[in-house]
Amino acid sequence: MVMKRTTSKKKAVKKSPKKKASKKKKVQQNTMLREAILDINKEISNISKEKKILNKQISSTDKGLELSRESEKRLQERIARLLEREASLKEKKKRISAKGDKLSDRLLKVEKIRSELSDI
């Protein structure tokens, strides 16, 4: 903490007490400066610790984000494979359905012929 000096007019006193008083003031100022420097160093240390913690959190978040991106990529590839398989199965269903329709038509023809033969 920095304190402003206030100057005031003092009466002339013997030189020796004045020197002692000025030495006391210098010692007090040095003490206050040392305390201020210690406080600043503590604050710098605290800020450095917070910075390390934040950097670790950022690193952890980056790793999590990268894992999420990899997972998303794998899932997108899986979806693409499933869509291809779905398209293939739809085509197969369409062919089987067409075959089923042909078989139904043949069965109807065979039954028609059978009924015509049984009528004869």
Q: What is the pLDDT along the chain (120 residues), one digit of tens a residue?
A: 445 555 555 555 455 555 566 888 888 889 999 999 999 999 999 999 999 999 999 999 999 999 999 999 999 999 999 999 999 999 999 999 999 999 999 999 999 999 988 877
> Residue 60, CB half-sphere, CA atoms under 13 Å: how many?
6
Instruction: Answer whether 3's CB lies under 8 Å from 32's CB.
Output: yes
Contact 29, 1 (CB under 8 A): no
Domain positions in the chain are 20-91
Decide if 36 contacts 2 (C-beta within 8 A).
yes
Local structure of residue 117 (DSSP, 8 states): H
* φ and ψ at residue 106, rounded to 5 degrees: -65, -45
pTM, entire model: 0.54
How far apart CA 68 and CA 55 sit, in angstroms, is: 20
Angle at 5 between CA 11 and CA 16, to 5 degrees: 40
